[in-house]
Amino acid sequence: MRRISTLLLLSLVSAALLASCLDAGKAVRNVGASAGTASDAVETSRKSLSGGVPESTVGVSHIDGDLAEAAGVSSHVAFGEKTADSGGSGYDADTVLAVRYGVHRDYERAVIDLGTGEAPAGTVPDWTLTSPEGDGLMRVNLPSANATCVSGGKFGEGLLGSFHVVRAPDDGMFVDFLARKPFRYRVLGLEDPARLILDFKPAAEDQNVASPAQGGDTVLIEPRPNSVISDPLTVNGYSRNPGAANTITLIGLRGKILVRRTVGSNDWSHTWGYFEATLDLPSFSGRGKLRVGTGSARDGTFEGVEIPVRTGR
């Protein structure tokens, strides 16, 4: 009952905060995270970067100018592979207005437009960034954000695959960028209006990564496909499953259900909601399958993520 009351309160607060986005005639937009929902792709506005490269915008951006405007400034910032970074100041910006994307000659650029309510903010707020070495995930934490005009989107067929705006487990929100290969990056905050610029280019090693699994309305961050699991097992990710319900099932040999548990995420109706659970595993060895998702409201069939896992025994 407490979780339902909390979700109801969260929905009411989020609805009020997002009213400006909706009143502007723009729906909170999302692109499905799996190939099965690719038909739900939003229409994005197209402008032209220098060199005639198209730019895509998802959300409600009131910021003029294209993504190439900061090229002269960012060119003085070197690409690196730090696993953590931080910057910004204050907590004035409370809304993710839009995420813009463009392809330059040797790198791809994503820009997070930040606002105070529906208006562009003046300064970039406090932010932190994590990017595990050799991984295809970058997470940008925005502790001051409590509303968003965009929940996610797909990029092109290059380095960057997709992004998701997620309600954080504590305060604020975070934006995950999922790449197809390990990358180097640089980050730059610009003011008046406030936006966070993130440039990505492939790392020197030409290798694929075990990306987070995506299926239906679920993104599974940990564990990754083909991971070696042990007891206890921590499962985390985010979803937009109806009712914020996420059923985690570990299946052993011959389809035997070893563990099944349903946990709630902290949002689902307005943006992606985070979930996490720690499972006590029974004794088993060999290979298995981990399913995370929910039953279809239409016919009860499973919708979500299924990955192979194995034990170290």
- Would you give the end-to-end CA distance of the chain in angstroms? 40
Q: Residue 289 to residues 142, 154, 197: CA-CA distances in angstroms?
A: 34, 27, 38
Fold of 213-311: Immunoglobulin-like (2.60.40)
Has residue 25 got a pLDDT over 70?
no
Angstrom distance (rounded) from CA 221 to CA 216? 14
**H or E segment at 11?**
helix 2-17
DSSP 53-68: -EEEEEE-----S-GG
For 146-205, the pLDDT digits (tens) are: 999 999 999 989 999 999 999 999 999 999 999 999 999 999 999 999 999 999 999 976
The pTM score is: 0.83
How does pLDDT run across 155-165, given as a tens digit for each residue? 989 999 999 99
- 3-state helix, strand, coil split of the chain in percent (to 5) is 15, 45, 40
Pairwise CA distance, residues 285 & 154, whole Å:
37
| Location of each CATH 2.60.40.2550 domain in the chain | 213-311
Instruction: Categorize the per-residue pLDDT at 206 as very low, low, confident or very high, splitting at 50, 70 and 90.
Output: low
